Structure 1
Amino acid sequence: MPVEKQPVGSVWTRPRRGREQPALTREQIVAEAVALLDAEGMEALSMRQLGARLNAGATSLYRHVANRDELIELVVDEVYGEIRVPEINDPAQWRAAAEQCAASHRAMILRHPWMASTLGQVGLSYLGPNVMRLNDRMLALFEVGGFAPVESSDAIGALISYVIGIGISEAAWLTLLARSGQTESELIANLRPAAEQAAHDYPRLRQADVRGVWDQDPAIARDRQFRYGLDRIMEGLESRRER
């Protein structure tokens, strides 16, 4: 007797449950969940805590969202809707448009630092409408840029993997910064003595201070580091276009 296949467990693969309560919608739940995450981080997200913020019991939330995992799928897709992909018709505009998309992706992660601990654990969040729309628009962008369909997905993956990788590091740093209650410059100044002591026996690391690393504006330094890596990625992708 054949085994009946179980449906994929995702908020995106099942219909919404019945009629929604007039006083509470899925959209309201998701918006409040994003606000909670931005304020307190992923550790604070629970159906009970969210219900309290909405002046509703957890049971009311379960009429719209089956569990916390589904809620995470929804909030991840929600913030992915903030990413902008320019629409172009001229291949000469491809690099500038792709860089704008990368910068928009990074900005989204930095606005929502909790994404740093979430991107590797989002299950089937990538089936959501905002992510699907983003992927479709990026494919259109790379198509105008001259990439063959068979290579577009890999090229997009290389670019976005870089953005997510550096974005996760930045978001983790900003989360530490928020918890410290200090400005970025203050935190770096307080970390400097310990870092210099740790580098004492490593001459190349000591030379970093000679180059003024510790005296740079930290926000400008982060932007420069992002730009350096993005330029190298784009140069590599440009060489593929030329082929």
Structure 2
Amino acid sequence: MPRETLNRDQIVEVAIELLDGAGIEGLSMRRLGKRLDSAATAMYWHVGSKENLVVLAADRVWGEIELLDPVETGWRTAARALVQDTYAMVKRHPWLIPAISTYVVHGPGMARFQNHSYAVYEAAGFRGRDLDWAVNTAFTFVAGFALFDAAQAAAARAMAAAPDLAVRADEIAARYPRLRERTEALRGIDAAELIGQSFAFGLDTVLDGLEARLRGEGSTAGVPSIAGTSNAVPGLLH
């Protein structure tokens, strides 16, 4: 791609492709320039720095999430879809959670997501600080699962490279009866199937818990709100 045809949108789009394949550490202006058939200096001219490029890419991917109108669908249907779509988006872009945990990411894409998150739980009946915490709880669930996925993938890679690690893990689990029982019960079951079932169980539990709070079972009065912070990603407190 000739240098004179480059623009920021094109650079961010290709940066997302590189991030998806190699993560934040694998992204460099040299690799990006090579992919775009342009000099690395042109990348800096358009986006300023690698850090700023990661921020732009992170904000861009938030726009992939479909937003259902909670008034038309009901808050629980909209909340379920939002959590599921957010998790799917994070799985497509596993570098996103590390990015928003490292950089100050806030732009139109994230703001759109945050605003809709508040609309969903406001439609449910949450107000004030309870609204903040309902939004944060749902996102924390997604972020936690994303970290779990990363840990599982790392463990699978490590055990594939060193099979004795699996033997050692079984030996340790054998010392603890409940852990041993569950390890043996789940052995041989497809990992993706287990993760899907676990995600569905957790999501139902979160939504059931939020619904219970709407019935008056507890409050969060007196807990500080984070709604006005500059990088107030639902569920990630800086």
Please confirm whether the aligned pair reaches a TM-score higher than 0.5, indicating the same fold.
Answer: yes
Letter of the structure 2 residue corresponding to residue 206 of structure 1? R
**Structure 1 position 58 matched with structure 2 position 40:** yes
- 1:55, distance to aligned residue in structure 2 (A): 0.9
Partner of 1:32: 14
CA distance in 2, matches of 1:118, 1:24: 25
- 1:149, distance to aligned residue in structure 2 (A): 4.0
CA distance in 1, matches of 2:60, 2:155: 24
8 Å contact from structure 1 (residues 113, 174) kept in 2: no
Given the alignment, which residue of 87, 108, 111 partners 2:69?
Answer: 87
- 1:119, distance to aligned residue in structure 2 (A): 3.0
Given the alignment, which residue of 91, 102, 106 partners 1:121?
Answer: 102
Partner of 1:216: 189
8 Å contact from structure 2 (residues 15, 57) kept in 1: yes
Q: 1:175 to 1:201 in 2, by over 3 A?
A: closer
**TM-score (ref. length: structure 2):** 0.80
Q: What is the aligned-residue RMSD (CA, Å)?
A: 2.4
Equivalences, count:
213
**Structure 1 position 78 matched with structure 2 position 48:** no
- 1:50, distance to aligned residue in structure 2 (A): 1.0
SS of equivalent to 1:63: helix
8 Å contact from structure 1 (residues 30, 75) kept in 2: yes
8 Å contact from structure 1 (residues 73, 122) kept in 2: yes
Given the alignment, which residue of 111, 115, 123 partners 1:144?
Answer: 123
Provide, for residues 179-232 of structure 1, a one-character-per-residue CA deviation record: whole Å limited to 9, x for no partner.
Answer: 67x9xxx89x9864332122222222211244x211211111001111222222
Provide, for residues 85-113 of structure 1, a one-character-per-residue CA deviation record: whole Å limited to 9, x for no partner.
Answer: 211315x7211210110011111111112
Where has structure 1 moved over 6 Å in runs of 4 or more? Answer: none
**Structure 1 position 227 matched with structure 2 position 209:** no
Letter of the structure 2 residue corresponding to residue 143 of structure 1? E
SS of equivalent to 2:5: coil
CA distance in 2, matches of 1:116, 1:213: 28
Provide, for residues 121-173 of structure 1, a one-character-per-residue CA deviation record: whole Å limited to 9, x for no partner.
Answer: 122x1x21010011111222222222224432221011101111111221343
**TM-score (ref. length: structure 1):** 0.79
Letter of the structure 2 residue corresponding to residue 139 of structure 1? Y
More moved, 39-48 vs 127-136? 39-48
**Structure 1 position 242 matched with structure 2 position 215:** yes
8 Å contact from structure 1 (residues 110, 171) kept in 2: no
Q: Unaligned 5+ residue runs, structure 1?
A: 1-20
SS of equivalent to 1:44: coil
Partner of 1:207: 181
8 Å contact from structure 2 (residues 70, 77) kept in 1: no
Q: Unaligned 5+ residue runs, structure 2?
A: 217-238
- Percent identity, aligned pairs only? 34
Given the alignment, which residue of 25, 43, 46 partners 1:43?
Answer: 25
